Chain A
Amino acid sequence: MNVIDVLRYAFSAIKLRKLRAALTTLGVIIGIMAIVALLAISQGLQTTISDQLNQGLSANSLIVIPSIDDSDNEGGGFGVSFGGVDSSGFRLYVNQTSEVESLSPNITSALAIIQRSGRIVSESENLNRSITIYGVDYATYSQTYSSFEAEYGTVPFNPRNDTIVVGSRVSDPRSNGTQFVFPGDDVALLWLNATVLPPVYENYTARVSGVLGTVGGFSIGVGPSDTGVYIPLSTAQSFFDTDSCDMMIVTLTNSDNATITEVSDLIKDYYGGQVAVISPEAIQSVLTSVFSTIQLFLVGIAAISLLVAGISIMNIMIVSLIERTREIGILKALGMKSRTVLMIFLAESVIIGLMGAIMGILGGWGLANVTAMVLASGILGGGGNFTITPMLSPTVVFGALIFGVGVSVIFALYPAWRASKLKPVDALRHE
């Protein structure tokens, strides 16, 4: 019997029990759908996060922060020790930037960032929002990040003490074009000073010089942020009453690995190993490894449902084998080889697995897109600003096909083998 005849015969057997075949296939569909949807969403999410991170990072810059412990802690401790103070009392100081700059000819600039959460208030404009205040050197910051550029007004390289530049969502919180602040407006900046007891609100009146264009992404406190308010570094030092900064951004002449390693080591040596030096690559590689773990975990869970589908295929196959004992007897009496009987039963499982996998891939892709739409629409909260574009890589499609067909074939092996081993006389006696 040739392959086409085997497939045709297997198909006629499946067609006879449509409902049963549909229910068996459904198991595969659900399993594959879950895997594909989870992977499409998480890969889309990974791309979104990695893109948005890239907007906030520049490839040839290093982030220097106090390390949370004394050991080398590249990447891992990122963001934990904001506030400029670690447990041992170590601090980065604003006036160290020039010394850091002179560490290597590969360093273009070193930029200190002071960061506090605070509020922006304008009685006349009916504005009172919580924001993050960043103290930066305007000139160096705009050299490092091209997105630090005004859409309205200007970013002055020699700002007055009371100059501020605000992110687009500070002025237009709903991103609907309604601007609350304009260049020239006077606003009050507040921060809660908790270094004194009782804590007091410190404030000063600032004049808006520029409103930044929309940066997008989410802020990790490094590159320009849509919800940030930028004040001159010297103003920040006096307003927050501090000489220390929360981080330094060290810009390099190039982004070669050798340069990054060399400069990182120099900076760590300079600070006696009490800082972590983070490169954008390091962050991306942490992100990649985190996502790989998450995806493995998700796929593992989804695979369990496929296992259940496999067991139900086996169950159905055994029932079908018993029902069709006489038929198998006839086929063998007509001269069909055991191998061909085996092929017929396996072909049935291949058909079921293939249909299930194809429908599961389509369904999973649909589910991922619906999920992305729901997330984007903001029904589940999050302001609707969270766009994921689900991604379906050829590897996922191919893997899902192999997996769907593989599971159903593996679980059909035993029933198919039993069918092939039936003796014609015994099978024909079966009622």
Chain B
Amino acid sequence: MSTIVEAIDLRKTYMLGKIPVEALRGINLKVDSGDFISILGPSGSGKSTLLNLIGALDKPTSGTLRVGGVNVGRLNDNRLSEVRLKIGFVFQFFNLIPRLTAKANVELAMSISNMSVAERSRRAAGLLNVVGLKDRMHHKPAELSGGQQQRVAIARALANKPKFLLLDEPTGNVDSKTALEVMSLIHKLNKENGVSIIMVTHDQKLAREARRTVHMVDGEIESDMVN
């Protein structure tokens, strides 16, 4: 199995005025393709920070981070965008574009990668079907429930056929029933489509559904075990 994410002594320090905040303090992590990892940890332990780095949304302060074989710490702005195109990112707060319909939101991600108009439409409809929103395609985010919005966000994350999916508390803002639906969708993507998954969560029970659980405390990995 090939390695898709490799972090070596990864550090991220934010400056709050003149006070340094060490969000990540030497992370070592290896993720094989096809893996399903959940990251657990108390609030402020650096989970989102780590996910943002892996998602090429931010650059590490020091250490090495390879995503799909490339050292993202060395990439310029332009190259970072190209890396992001190949990663599916699902945010805690959905982050859909309010003025666009569910389908248009998914298509927008495809237009960024220059997919043809016909293929965009076909593929977006297919993805929304997969996440169970066939009859909600032409609704705007404000007309959808939290769980439905989260599923649109997952469909969008899959728009450009990513090798892996990063999810930051995908069930944090939905009820437990919807949470289970979202989880089973994630499982399905992992098992049937071979999409690698890294998922941040607060929920012990959901975390245990992953193949592997990484525990973070104070910007460090406290434990890393196969469930």
Contact = CB atoms under 8 A, between A and B. Distances in A.
B113 A2 contact: no
Given A425-B58, A428-B57, A428-B91, A337 B78 contact: yes
B84 A333 contact: yes
A13 B85 CA distance: 23
Among B55, B84, B156, the one with the most A-chain Cβ atoms within 10 Å of its Cβ is B84
Contacts of A13: 99
B81 A335 contact: yes
A1 B97 contact: no
Interface string B79-98: 00111111001010001110
Contacts of A425: 52, 57-58
Contact of B111 (A1, A16, A333): A1
Nearest to B52: A425
Question: Chain A: interface secondary structure?
Answer: helix
Interface in A320-334: 326-327, 329-334
A16 B99 contact: yes
Nearest to B81: A337
Interface in A5-20: 5, 9, 12-13, 16
Interface size class of B (residues with CB under 8 A): 20 to 34
Contacts of B100: 12
Contact of A12 (B57, B78, B91, B99): B99
Contacts of A9: 108, 111
Nearest to A426: B58
B206 interface: no
B58 A338 contact: no
B112 A424 contact: no
A23 interface: no
B81 A332 contact: yes
Given A12-B99, A330-B97, A334-B84, A1 B58 contact: no
Contact of A424 (B58, B85, B108): B58
A331 B57 contact: no
Contacts of A337: 77-78, 81
What are the nearest 10 A-B pairs in CB distance?
A335-B85, A335-B84, A5-B111, A425-B58, A424-B57, A337-B81, A334-B109, A425-B57, A330-B95, A336-B112
Interface of B: 52, 55, 57-58, 77-78, 81-86, 89, 91, 95-97, 99-100, 108-109, 111-114, 156, 160
Interface of A: 1-2, 5, 9, 12-13, 16, 326-327, 329-340, 423-425, 428
30 contacts: A1-B111, A1-B112, A9-B108, A9-B111, A326-B95, A327-B97, A330-B95, A330-B97, A332-B84, A333-B55, A333-B89, A333-B95, A334-B84, A334-B108, A334-B112, A335-B81, A335-B82, A335-B84, A335-B85, A335-B112, A336-B81, A336-B112, A337-B78, A337-B81, A338-B81, A423-B58, A424-B57, A425-B58, A428-B57, A428-B91
Given A332-B57, A333-B91, A335-B82, 7 more contacts: A333-B57, A333-B84, A333-B95, A334-B108, A335-B81, A335-B109, A428-B57
